Structure 1
Amino acid sequence: MEFDLPKEQSSIIKVIGVGGGGCNAVNHMFQQGIKDVNFVICNTDAQALDTSPVPNKIQLGPGLTKGRGAGSHPSTGKDATMESLKEVKDLLEKNTEMVFVTAGMGGGTGTGGAPVIARTAREQGILTIGIITMPFGFEGKRRRQQAEQGLKEMRDNVDAILIISNDKLREIYGNLEFNAAFAKADDILATAAKGIAEIITVPGYVNVDFEDVKTVLRNSGLAIMGSARANGENRALEAVKNALASPLLNDSDISGATNILLNISSGAKPVLMDEISEITEFVQEAAGNDCDIIWGNCSDSALEDDILVTLIATGFETEKERKDRQSKETVIRMTLGSEEKADTPEQSAEEHFPTNQTPETPFLKQENDTPKNEDTTVKFELTTDNGKPRQFSFEFDGSMYEDEKEEDDAVGMNDETEAADDDMGMKVYMQKDVEEEHDEDNHM
């Protein structure tokens, strides 16, 4: 099926729907309208393409499927997309700098074809964002397994991915009619694409340009997004709180993000400086002080007296990174002796503190035994008098357990290691193998 998208009329941003779910979402976006974005639908089902209002269409694998769909087989969806790959490449070559690939995972065409299209876009140097939905639990185990595999392949072939759980929508919105449930998912997909695209395409007083978007999204992996609008006296705080409670966040939060793209839009009632400060400070506190926030402000007359807050957070630790880190760490939880309360007023200090520990010496609680003679990282969690945990870690090698008591060149640690927490004005001592040392003394 042919299409015509003249280069001079082509936007740098394209939204491509793949398969039944992806095409339905793009149909919805097309009818809603997103400023300066081109829409494309790709499907093996010729009938679904014919009934779509979207003008730019690619029939995937007409020779393979004869226009009858992929039969819920991802391998068929993949092969059909490979058959039509030249048309996809021709489309992407038309002035494209950013592409959204949206699909529902679990079926045939979207699950098998979307990763192929995403990989093709990324190989051409295009910033590639995946927006996908995961199936409802009642859709069956096989569909769920296919969805998980499709999600893995999408993750491997996009710069950033937004994941919307249909079960999460059901949890939030309750027992909707069947069609209404899928319509709600389409709304969320449209909000995600619109929220990111219009950060670039809608002019503002403080613009967020395409380079800013690339900084946040390029090679960033999992992205989470929130968007909400509010009015009234406390509209700024209400909007940012609701944005952080958005179903787009999929039970996640923004703590641990390294980059956040934040857009603040207003209508007839302009945003105030205090409102901008309130929003940015709230986001910074939620994300942490190490997070870099790029923010912009634009005007949208459709908002009237409302304020709209949209944020995209990226740069989270991946599951593999987390597992690699945890495999190298021995966690020692340490509570100050002053936190340990005697059971009765008569309990003496000798009864309260273990041998060779005093109220001035931290009381060590060790969850895992440190492996001897092995390189390791020890992470401490120090609980202070106000109950607020503080964490820090040291790297050292197994020679700490040797009789030679050699100094660790990296951190200068010996048998009794001292570290200072400057913020808290206290010293923490790590003591090792106290009982073993006493046993050795007794045998001498």
Structure 2
Amino acid sequence: MLNEIMNFDIASNLGSIIKVIGVGGGGGNAVNHMYHQGIRDVDFMVCNTDSQALVNSPVPLKVQLGSALTEGRGAGNKPETGREAAIENIEDVKKILGANTKMVFITAGMGGGTGTGGAPVIAQAAKELGILTVGIVTIPFRNEGRRRIKQAVEGIAAMEIHVDSLLVINNERIREMYGDFKISDAFAKADNILATAAKGIAEIITVPGYINVDFADVETVMRNSGVALMGTGIASGVNRAIVAVEEALNSPLLNNNDILGARNILLNITSGSEEITMDEIGEITDFIQEKAGNSADLIWGNGVDEELGDKISVTIIATGFSTSSIPEMVMNKSQEKTYHTLSDEVHENKHVEKTEVKASIENELYGSKNVKQKTFEFEINTSVFDEFEELYGNHPKKESYSEVNEPVDYAQTSEEAVDELENIPAYRRKNLRFNGFKKKVEEKFSRFSITPDENNSVTLRDNNSYLHDNVD
């Protein structure tokens, strides 16, 4: 029975040049959602180590990964097991990809076992076949734990090496937007965002328009382009053009990022029964160029979808970034730690000459933003620190007693010793010479005083009334 589950038939109709592959549980759920939603002229495939998940998938193209290694029981949240499982059955995947495939989307939820370990292996195989390879991956919710996030960061780094372009979607951003949703509805939103990413890119190629964007245009923008940012917006009404493009740039796909610094931008504008005007197209393209810094190469196309009615849809793909522009990738890198022991000597800085304050804005987006920095420099009066150091610095403690030059023999308690101490002066016991006391020289004071008389004449008196011999 197990062998029958794991040996899936490979479909013979492999004619589409675009394929979407879901790897692991998260990627498989996203592809199942895309399959039900429908994307024109695209083939879907799911790859998993969990045979039960493959049985429950409505997608016709299925590849069991690691049938001998895991025996259909999953990778156990171990990326290395997922990697080995993908290597075991990589030839089955190549057989499907080798049939007229020009572009492949590989979607996976990073942080687990099969998707984290297996998706980079499949991406490497696709790129070696010369296929334009686009990765669409998710970063876990924060409450999924540090280990899972760490594994996700490592998996994304591996994906970046083996894909032409990489779209990274942060589930935490989805939680911020739909936190009050039921868990099934919240995960459905996550799957829908992944589907929007694949659908938005694929239908730029497959849906015809007046100004057509074909596979060659998409390849120009996305081949070896690094991290890509994508957004889509739909709006109606008087200002529908500006509202739609602003919504696209605020899309959860962008994870709060802007497109400043993008090298290439692919723009697709689709309208319904109320066709878009040239002025509206000008508003959209001017707005995007301004946000990109007026330095990006812009390729745009126009299509028609009657289901939109009076609405217009704007899809933006900006490329030319790196994973260093993803805050989660930077924040989760291991930081060097410095350890101090109690025995270490602490060195304090006595002077602070300059203090530099940098006003930097944490860019929570996947793009990079030029921020002007202001530096304030001022001198600190160091004399205050010098006085403090003099008063409270690390000086040796001053003893309040003088040193004893000779040890005292406390055992000397005889009566003879006591008599000696009482009757013999200290200078004789110390054998010091004493020449007697010097007599005090009697000081003589003059008793004369000079005072004015009654006629204001100066008189010299021989008896100063203020000086007398009586003791008070």
Normalised by the size of structure 1, how large is the TM-score? 0.71
Q: Secondary structure at the match of 2:52?
A: helix
State the one-letter code of the partner of 2:107.
T
**2:48 maps to 1:48:** no
In the aligned structure 1, how far is the partner of 2:237 from the partner of 2:24?
42
Higher CA-based Rg? 2
Q: Secondary structure at the match of 2:197?
A: helix
Would you say the 8 A contact 1:5–1:94 is kept in 2? no
Give the corresponding residue for 1:239: 244
Give the corresponding residue for 2:8: 2
State the one-letter code of the partner of 1:117.
I
Give the corresponding residue for 1:135: 140
Give the corresponding residue for 1:74: 79
Give the corresponding residue for 2:259: 254
Give the corresponding residue for 1:215: 220
Would you say the 8 A contact 1:61–1:84 is kept in 2? yes
Would you say the 8 A contact 1:227–1:308 is kept in 2? yes
The 5 A counterparts of 1:102-113 are 102-113=107-118
Shift of 1:161: 0.5
Q: Secondary structure at the match of 1:239?
A: helix
In the aligned structure 2, how far is the partner of 1:165 from the partner of 1:109?
19
Give the corresponding residue for 1:263: 268
Give the corresponding residue for 1:299: 304
**2:197 maps to 1:192:** yes
In the aligned structure 1, how far is the partner of 2:322 from the partner of 2:154?
21
State the one-letter code of the partner of 1:220.
S
Would you say the 8 A contact 1:267–1:302 is kept in 2? yes
The 5 A counterparts of 1:388-427 are none
In the aligned structure 2, how far is the partner of 1:5 from the partner of 1:94?
11
Shift of 1:3: 3.3
**2:46 maps to 1:31:** no
In the aligned structure 1, how far is the partner of 2:171 from the partner of 2:186?
8
Normalised by the size of structure 2, how large is the TM-score? 0.67
Q: Secondary structure at the match of 1:228?
A: strand
Q: Secondary structure at the match of 1:31?
A: helix
Q: Secondary structure at the match of 2:300?
A: strand
Give the corresponding residue for 1:84: 89
In the aligned structure 2, how far is the partner of 1:319 from the partner of 1:225?
17
Q: Which residue of 200, 206, 218 maps to 1:201?
A: 206
Would you say the 8 A contact 1:6–1:94 is kept in 2? no
In the aligned structure 1, how far is the partner of 2:10 from the partner of 2:55?
16
Shift of 1:108: 0.6
In the aligned structure 2, how far is the partner of 1:317 from the partner of 1:129?
14
Shift of 1:367: 7.0
Shift of 1:172: 1.7
In the aligned structure 2, how far is the partner of 1:170 from the partner of 1:367?
37
Give the corresponding residue for 1:65: 70
List per-residue Cα deviations over 1:34-77 (Å, max 9, x = no partner).
00000000001111111111000001111111111111111111
Give the corresponding residue for 1:395: none
Shift of 1:389: 9.5
List per-residue Cα deviations over 1:185-214 (Å, max 9, x = no partner).
100000000000000000000001111101
Would you say the 8 A contact 1:256–1:317 is kept in 2? no
Q: Secondary structure at the match of 2:260?
A: coil
Q: Secondary structure at the match of 1:42?
A: strand
Give the corresponding residue for 1:357: none
Change (3 A) 1:62 1:196: same
**2:171 maps to 1:166:** yes
In the aligned structure 2, how far is the partner of 1:366 from the partner of 1:220?
40
State the one-letter code of the partner of 2:139.
M
**4+ residue segments displaced more than 3 Å:** 2-7, 317-320, 365-368, 388-391
Would you say the 8 A contact 2:11–2:60 is kept in 1? no
State the one-letter code of the partner of 1:6.
S
Aligned length: 327
State the one-letter code of the partner of 2:302.
N
Would you say the 8 A contact 2:10–2:62 is kept in 1? no
**2:290 maps to 1:285:** yes
**2:39 maps to 1:15:** no
Would you say the 8 A contact 1:223–1:313 is kept in 2? yes
Shift of 1:174: 2.4
In the aligned structure 2, how far is the partner of 1:300 from the partner of 1:45?
38
Q: Secondary structure at the match of 2:180?
A: coil
Q: Which runs of 5+ in 1 are unaligned?
A: 321-364, 369-387, 392-444
State the one-letter code of the partner of 2:260.
S
Would you say the 8 A contact 1:39–1:56 is kept in 2? yes
- CA RMSD, Structure 1 to Structure 2 (Å): 2.0
Shift of 1:318: 6.2
In the aligned structure 1, how far is the partner of 2:213 from the partner of 2:143?
41
State the one-letter code of the partner of 1:207.
N
Q: Which runs of 5+ in 2 are unaligned?
A: 1-6, 326-353, 358-369, 374-472
In the aligned structure 2, how far is the partner of 1:302 from the partner of 1:129?
28
